[in-house]
Amino acid sequence: MEGSERDEDARVRLPQLRLDELLEELQARIDAARGTRDRVHSLLEAVLSVGRELDLEQVLHSIVEAAAAVVDARYAALGVIGPDGKRLSAFHTVGVGEEEIARIGHYPEGHGILGELIRHPEPLRVPKLSDHPSSYGFPPHHPPMNTFLGVPIRVRDQVFGNLYLTEKRGGAQFDEEDESVLSTLAVAAGVAIDNARLYEESRRRERWLRANAEITHGLMSGSERGTALQLIAERAREITGAALAVVAVPMAGTDSLTVELAIGQGADTHRGLVVPVDDSLLGRAFTTAAPVTSPDITSDDRVFPGPQRLDELGPAAAVPVGSGASVRGIVLLVRAAGRSPFTDKEIEPLQGFAAQAAVAMELAERRRDAEQIAVLEDRDRIARDLHDLAIQRLFATGMTLQSAGRFIDHKEASERVLRAVDDLDETIKIIRSTIFGLRSPAGEGLDGPGLRARVVRVVGEAVPVLGFPPSVRMEGLIDTHVSKEAADHLVAVLSEALTNVARHARADRVQVSLETDGREVRLTVEDNGVGVPAGGRRSGLRNMAERAERLGGTFDVAGPPGGGTTLVWRVPVGDA
Q: What is the pLDDT of residues 486-530, one digit of tens each?
A: 998 999 899 888 988 888 888 888 899 999 888 899 999 999 888
**Predicted pLDDT of residue 449:** 67
Please tell me what DSSP assigns to residue 485. Answer: H
Predicted confidence band of residue 448 (pLDDT cuts 50, 70, 90): very low
CB 246 within 8 A of CB 286: no
Average pLDDT rounded to a whole number, residues 94-120: 76
Q: Which of 152, 211, 210, 217 is nearest to 186 (CA)?
A: 152
How confident is residue 43, by pLDDT bands cut at 50, 70 and 90? Answer: low
Mean pLDDT along residues 127-137: 75
Distance of CA 217 to the CA centre of its chain: 26
Strand blocks (E) in 13-95: 73-81, 88-94
pLDDT digits (tens, 9 = 90+) for 218-273: 766 666 667 777 888 888 888 888 899 988 888 877 788 888 888 888 888 888 88
User: Residue 45 — very low, low, confident or very high, per pLDDT cuts 50/70/90?
Assistant: low
Span 327-343, average pLDDT: 85
Mean pLDDT (whole number) for 458-484: 86
Q: Is the pLDDT of residue 195 over 60?
A: yes
When pLDDT is cut at 50, 70 and 90, the band that residue 531 belongs to is: confident
Q: Which of 60-69, 208-217, 352-361 has the lowest mean pLDDT?
A: 352-361
Instruction: List, in sequence order, the alpha helices (H) in 221-341.
Output: 225-240, 267-270, 281-288
Q: What is the mean pLDDT of residues 422-442?
A: 64
Residues belonging to the chain: 576
pLDDT on residue 525: 92
Task: Indicate whether 22 pLDDT > 60.
Answer: no
**The pairing of beta strand 88-94 with beta strand 554-558:** unpaired
Q: 90 pairs with which residues across the strands?
A: 80
Query: Is the pTM for the entire model greater than 0.85?
Result: no
Minimum mean pLDDT among 21-30, 366-375, 428-437: which range? 21-30
pLDDT score, position 442 = 46
According to the model, what pLDDT value does residue 337 have? 83
Q: What is the pLDDT of residues 135-166, one digit of tens each?
A: 766 667 677 778 888 888 888 878 888 888 88
Residue spans of alpha helices (H) in 469-527: 478-481, 484-500
pLDDT bracket for residue 26 (50, 70, 90)? very low
